[in-house]
Structure 1
């Protein structure tokens, strides 16, 4: 375990973080107080940095308050305002979940007690999507559940809150990733061709529809990988097709052994609009480079959607082809990975070697 920096070095790092308006993992958590103003702030406070001689550092809000300082109203170092915002958005989500039809933005904002434009910004910053997109996701989830339970399409569409079947059939991929009939059948009528293989990182399974690769899994027992695929398409016909998928399997196995070039495979990706935006952004990360979850959220124009981005990465069905292993924590830590952090480290190391050649 690395030794803690000396106090004078630590204070220097903290002061630089204040000037940079960005937390530095080497500093640990801290707040700074301004003696001439009597307030304490987060390192990222948008206020003008104080003079060094007027600055004191504290490990947390109680320590700063015990020294007689009050919380800054701009950066909310106690998190009181953030908690109120989160509670308001959670209540709005509950209202959407309980409603039979999509509530209007005006109704949601009035319920939360905010102006319409302010509430819209809060909701988008916290959830990563607009209230409308969130509500459409709720409708799609209801529709998918009803169809999977065997309800007739017309009944499922009406029960999910859609005005008519035509709205669903106009853009089925937007709501389900497939037509309502296919969703009702749980993939019945679809054929998922699969191929098992050995790889440098253990068992490999590739699944493909007629549109492209829909599943890539590795490093788990073959039966577990196939069970994961079947859970996604519970009523589809699973057909072994090693010859049909031979080229794709070889490309993926080669990437696992030595990732020297980005995988270019035809894909059949099924997810929400937000998930697909994240997955598309992942494919634009160059080989051997990484992005943080927060950085990726910022690239999407939704800097507060870090958790939503992380969830979308975790739900990626085609590992390697959509390279979620290139996303790391803000501190550079590898954090979690569906197929194991050691494998994530090995993939990134292999990609860096390839870039260095």
Structure 2
């Protein structure tokens, strides 16, 4: 292991063990704060502050899953007060911590399976917007994915067109999957870093592509291509959050959650 990587690994261990500030962390490894920030982001795909935030959020999620009461979970995870996680963490959870604790207990998710230009699609929505668009012919497998994501939520299947809230959103998703202009209200549920990547994906013009390295540059993480690729892989909103517009540096398609033939089909349609 070279000296730079050893310093970066030491910085990460210090973040795992406590909550050092950037200057304290930089002093510990013998770099300037700016240099540490740049090198850490390039190596791990997150700034030291974001890495620490994700560690804390991960501890909170696990404590909530283990059944601890919310207040104990918050303080054990390292949050100074409940307001801190409701200001920052709750947005990353996508729902209040008390509901996340039981896999989305109390959260209402309505869903339906519809026919689209790209085949069958499961479309799910919270009260804030569409939270999942999964493609595939096996409806049981699609439903199983949704239940794994929200094991404690109130999941309600709705026949297409039978729900005044969901019906117009299903129509908008169908338009988007057909390549037509559509306004789709989204509820992006993911980490802060994932949301940064997904926001950047939605700024790529239709018919154009970026490489994973170029997308990493766009979110301010040079050499963070692997972290960006993982965030793309975590996208649950097929086509609407256009991870299909990201390819390898040599122009080859790379991976795609819903299969490379579909990625190729959607890209060809957009380029036409």
TM-score (norm 2): 0.90
Instruction: Confirm or deny: 8 A CA contact 2:119 2:136 kept in the other structure.
Output: yes
What's the CA shift string for 1:66-118, capped at 9, x where partnerless?
xxxxxxxxxxxxxx8xx543343233223322x2x412324433443333332
SS of the residue aligned with 2:112?
strand
1:325 aligns with 2:238: no
Deviation at 1:200, TM superposition (A): 4.2
What's the CA shift string for 1:38-77, capped at 9, x where partnerless?
xxxxxxxxxxxxxxxxxxxxxxxxxxxxxxxxxxxxxxxx
SS of the residue aligned with 1:171?
helix
SS of the residue aligned with 2:114?
strand
Deviation at 1:170, TM superposition (A): 2.9
* Stretches of structure 2 lacking an aligned partner (at least 5 in a row): none
Deviation at 1:255, TM superposition (A): 4.2
Instruction: Confirm or deny: 8 A CA contact 1:202 1:218 kept in the other structure.
Output: yes
For 2:143 and 2:156, how far apart are their aligned partners in 1? 11
**Residue equivalent to 1:296:** 215
RMSD: 2.0
For 2:124 and 2:114, how far apart are their aligned partners in 1? 12
1:123 aligns with 2:44: no
**Residue equivalent to 1:282:** 201
Instruction: Confirm or deny: 8 A CA contact 2:126 2:187 kept in the other structure.
Output: yes
**Residue equivalent to 1:205:** 122
1:339 aligns with 2:226: no
TM-score (norm 1): 0.70
1:48-197 correspondence to structure 2 within 5 Å: 83-97=2-16, 99=17, 101-197=18-114
Q: How many residues align?
A: 268
**Residue equivalent to 1:269:** 188
SS of the residue aligned with 1:246?
helix
SS of the residue aligned with 1:121?
helix
Q: Which moved more, 1:191-200 or 1:239-248?
A: 239-248
Deviation at 1:337, TM superposition (A): 0.2
Q: Whose RCO is larger (CA < 8 A, sep 6+)? A: 2
**Residue equivalent to 1:229:** 146
Q: Higher Cα Rg: structure 1 or 2?
A: 1
**Residue equivalent to 1:259:** 179
Q: Which moved more, 1:297-306 or 1:171-180?
A: 171-180
For 1:351 and 1:115, how far apart are their aligned partners in 2? 45
**Residue equivalent to 2:170:** 249
Instruction: Confirm or deny: 8 A CA contact 1:264 1:321 kept in the other structure.
Output: no
Instruction: Confirm or deny: 8 A CA contact 2:41 2:222 kept in the other structure.
Output: no
* Stretches of structure 1 lacking an aligned partner (at least 5 in a row): 1-79
Instruction: Confirm or deny: 8 A CA contact 1:137 1:175 kept in the other structure.
Output: no
Instruction: Confirm or deny: 8 A CA contact 1:120 1:131 kept in the other structure.
Output: yes
SS of the residue aligned with 1:156?
helix
